[in-house]
Structure 1
Amino acid sequence: MADKNDGGDKTEAPTQKRIRDARKKGDVAKSKDLTSVAGLFVWLLLATFGAGFAGDRLAALFNTSFEAVARGLPFAQAWVDLGMAAFWLFVLLTALAMIPAALIGLAAEFLQTGAILTFEKMKPSLDKLNPMEGLKKMFSMDNLAELVKTVAKAALMLLITYLVLRASLPEIAAGMPTGALPTVQGVGRAGASEALRETGVLTSRMLAWTLAAFVVVAAVDMAWQKHSYTKKLKMSLRDIRDEVKENEGDPYIRQQRKAMHQEYAEQNAIGAARTANVLVINPTHLALALDYDPETCPVPILAAKGEGPLAQAMREAAEAAGVPIIQNIDVARALYERGQINDLVPRDMFEAIAEIILWARKERDAMMERRR
């Protein structure tokens, strides 16, 4: 009986190729709430340190309007001057609020997804016109989670606003004038700036508590997004087998596998040169490592062979390990062309190889004597 997972059950973790393919289509795990938290943090800083600046500018706008009335300017001219001043103040304050938040939001997106530019999701597709597909997405688990999250955030904001206002009511009441109502001119010249400062303090408190609450929401959302993303990309065993077959024909994968095999072979050759009985060279282009242990095999074995830079690396490794090195151009060329790695040396080369092994043994004995 076939394995249950042999068909379409997607129970296996996604491969790196599947994740890369999804990324090329713009499908990555990211939390919009994390971006919102970054924007809230910027607005909190602006409300904390920029409320005084905004209050002074608005108070100056009020003063300009009252001065225009006091100078007796015509209504049309005063209206135009005041309107232009109000417009440029609006542009300034909006730019100060939106540009830093937008830049920090882009940075938060980049930290989550990295550099990615794709128009895959903008391509026309029949699935986007299919009402059944639209209904499936509308009632999907992701959309349900978004709905719950939106309701939770709205409830949190209402609760925070209520609690902050209730806690601040004594301060607000203490700051209100008593007795007769103040004159409009007095409010414009003295009260506007102070009122705006108090509003900035109140806004900062609300933003601080909202930021703290949304940090928790963003952490939960990020965990959910990663879980949902991984679940969506899960594969069946058949998917994995199909991907392996596809990769076998991929030139990039073949080249990568060839490079890995070559690196592995080079490391083995250098290691074999360190432990060989003797290294035969020609004199710089070829290097062949020979092993000989009469107790296990009466015939020498070609442990490794290399050409060019690999031959030089084998020679350096053998010199560092104290392995005898002999230059024999004829033997090196013949053995490189005909010998197989980890196999016995060719039969017709036994005599020449035996002489080299004997020389290497004498060389080792001489080295031992010199060390004594």
Structure 2
Amino acid sequence: MSENEQAGEKTELPTEKRLREAREQGNIPRSRELATAAVFVAAVLALYAMAGSMGNSARQWMKAALSPEVGLLNTPNALFGHAGWMLLKLMLAFSPLIVVCLAAGMIAPALMGGLQFSNKALMPDLKRMNPLTGIKRLVGAEALAELVKSMLRVAFVGTAAGLCIWQGADGLRGLLHLPLESAIGRGLGFTLKLLLATAGAMALLAAIDAPYQKWNWLRKLKMTREELRREMKESEGSPEVKGRIRQMQMQLSQRRMMEAVPTADVVLVNPTHYAVALKYESGRMSAPTVVARGVDELALRIRQVADGNKVAVVSSPPLARALYRESQLGKEIPVRLYSAVALVLSYVYQLRQWRTGPMPQMAPIDIDEFGKGGTR
């Protein structure tokens, strides 16, 4: 497989940005089976829990609906008014069931992908009106998956209902020989068992469909490597821009460092490859501090600035290299180099005192002579 073909395959998981944009457009994972099962199971459980109270309300409603007083309503307005009042009482009687079903219908989508309201999903899309796209939806993988789900739904629900009826067949036949009230009670009990069996089958189907829908949603949002690179470039900036920013930051840091060189007491050099500028203020600093450091071209610039501002430049290759390796800009020098740097500063201070006389000579410094504590 060629590199171009691999680049065109959607093999990369969607980024947070892509997932967020999909949700903003109303594209979130949805499972019809989960929503249907949630509402149906909630309704069955509500009926089981509130059957007594709703049954009493229904009986009271029937008594009011079939009351002899209804025959006294001889005008259309009176009849319509009574019908409206009876409808309201019926809705109030079953309002707990309605509330439970509405709550289940809202909770189920929230469990899958959250509640998302988007106007973009309601906007007309010409692609949906394309006949070729419609044909692909009818004969594609999505259509096959829906067909399989429909077959599973019929199989699950039909099997559960069939087993329930088969187990209760003898009891159903015996209802004909029972008093009316007992027959109604047993019939309602069997109906509840049938509804519970159906709810269990629908819940099992939803447990299969919900993970599949989540997986399929993520699969559709997968990205090609080129899309991933393009998004990273847009969100984090192109390498060229980031390189330019780093270059500007480095230039700003070097400019500030060069401005600090004139305040240094001494610049230790290699003499050409390394340069480290040190500053020490007795009483304010516990140890000499590095105000500038650099190699090669930057070291040359530090020397030039130091020469231009009459800052002492001392050639000590071992000490210059050690300071460059072990010190940081704006930080104090390492403890083990205290004594070596103290000799240099002593020489610089003597140099300042003898500017009008002969220049003092500084003895060579071997930093290996000094221990970890900064002493010989």
Q: 1:72 to 1:128 in 2, by over 3 A?
A: closer
What CA deviation, in whole Å up to 9, does each residue of 1:198-218 have, x standing for no partner? 454233212321222222211
1:51 touches 1:200 (CA, 8 Å); kept in 2? no
Structure-1 separation of matches of 2:25 and 2:81: 52
Alignment-derived partner of residue 275 in structure 1: none
Alignment-derived partner of residue 149 in structure 1: 149
2:38 touches 2:108 (CA, 8 Å); kept in 1? yes
2:108 counterpart of 1:108? yes
Q: 1:364 to 1:108 in 2, by over 3 A?
A: farther
Alignment-derived partner of residue 338 in structure 2: 357
What CA deviation, in whole Å up to 9, does each residue of 1:41-96 have, x standing for no partner? 2112212122222222233344446652xx89547489779745642343124432
1:5 touches 1:237 (CA, 8 Å); kept in 2? no
Structure-2 separation of matches of 1:61 and 1:125: 49
Alignment-derived partner of residue 17 in structure 1: 17
Give the letter aligned to residue 224 of structure 2.
S
Displacement of 1:26 after TM fit?
1.9
Give the letter aligned to residue 338 of structure 2.
I
Structure 1: unaligned runs, 5 residues or longer: 259-297, 303-325, 367-372
2:229 counterpart of 1:241? yes
What CA deviation, in whole Å up to 9, does each residue of 1:275-322 have, x standing for no partner? xxxxxxxxxxxxxxxxxxxxxxx99899xxxxxxxxxxxxxxxxxxxx
What CA deviation, in whole Å up to 9, does each residue of 1:224-267 have, x standing for no partner? 212322221222222222223323449xx98xx99xxxxxxxxx
Q: 1:18 to 1:62 in 2, by over 3 A?
A: closer
Give the letter aligned to residue 215 of structure 2.
H
Q: 1:364 to 1:35 in 2, by over 3 A?
A: farther
Alignment counterpart, residue 191 of structure 2, candidates 161, 178, 203: 203
- 3-state SS, counterpart of residue 168 of structure 2: helix
Give the letter aligned to residue 206 of structure 2.
A
Q: 1:362 to 1:116 in 2, by over 3 A?
A: farther
Give the letter aligned to residue 54 of structure 1.
M
Map residues 280-291 of structure 1 onto 2, 5 A cutoff: none
What CA deviation, in whole Å up to 9, does each residue of 1:100-149 have, x standing for no partner? 11112212212321353322222222212211112222323223212321
Displacement of 1:19 after TM fit?
2.4
1:33 touches 1:221 (CA, 8 Å); kept in 2? yes
Structure-2 separation of matches of 1:35 and 1:327: 73
2:28 touches 2:113 (CA, 8 Å); kept in 1? yes
Alignment-derived partner of residue 124 in structure 1: 124
Alignment-derived partner of residue 138 in structure 1: 138
1:31 touches 1:221 (CA, 8 Å); kept in 2? yes
Q: 1:79 to 1:132 in 2, by over 3 A?
A: same
Alignment-derived partner of residue 38 in structure 1: 38
Q: 1:72 to 1:242 in 2, by over 3 A?
A: closer
Alignment-derived partner of residue 328 in structure 1: 285
Structure-2 separation of matches of 1:246 and 1:72: 74
Give the letter aligned to residue 159 of structure 2.
L
1:48 touches 1:201 (CA, 8 Å); kept in 2? no
Structure-2 separation of matches of 1:175 and 1:354: 99
Q: 1:301 to 1:141 in 2, by over 3 A?
A: farther
- 3-state SS, counterpart of residue 118 of structure 1: coil
TM-score, normalised via structure 2 length: 0.59
Q: 1:52 to 1:169 in 2, by over 3 A?
A: farther
Alignment-derived partner of residue 162 in structure 1: 162
What CA deviation, in whole Å up to 9, does each residue of 1:179-211 have, x standing for no partner? xxx9xxxx7xxx4xx666545423321232122
Give the letter aligned to residue 105 of structure 2.
G
Alignment counterpart, residue 215 of structure 2, candidates 227, 231, 235: 227
Structure-2 separation of matches of 1:136 and 1:245: 34
Structure-1 separation of matches of 2:70 and 2:99: 39
Q: 1:197 to 1:83 in 2, by over 3 A?
A: farther
Q: 1:142 to 1:94 in 2, by over 3 A?
A: farther
Map residues 260-339 of structure 1 onto 2, 5 A cutoff: 327-328=284-285, 332=289, 335-336=290-291, 338-339=292-293
Give the letter aligned to residue 328 of structure 1.
M
Alignment-derived partner of residue 249 in structure 2: none
Higher relative contact order (CA 8 A, sep 6+): 1
Between the aligned residues of both structures, percent identity stands at 23
Structure-1 separation of matches of 2:213 and 2:159: 26
1:37 touches 1:218 (CA, 8 Å); kept in 2? yes
Q: 1:114 to 1:339 in 2, by over 3 A?
A: farther
Displacement of 1:12 after TM fit?
2.9
- 3-state SS, counterpart of residue 230 of structure 2: helix
Give the letter aligned to residue 32 of structure 1.
R
Q: 1:246 to 1:353 in 2, by over 3 A?
A: closer
Give the letter aligned to residue 229 of structure 1.
W
- 3-state SS, counterpart of residue 8 of structure 2: coil
Structure-2 separation of matches of 1:301 and 1:167: 95
* Greater mean deviation of Cα atoms: 154-163 or 36-45: 154-163
2:287 touches 2:333 (CA, 8 Å); kept in 1? no
2:61 touches 2:86 (CA, 8 Å); kept in 1? yes
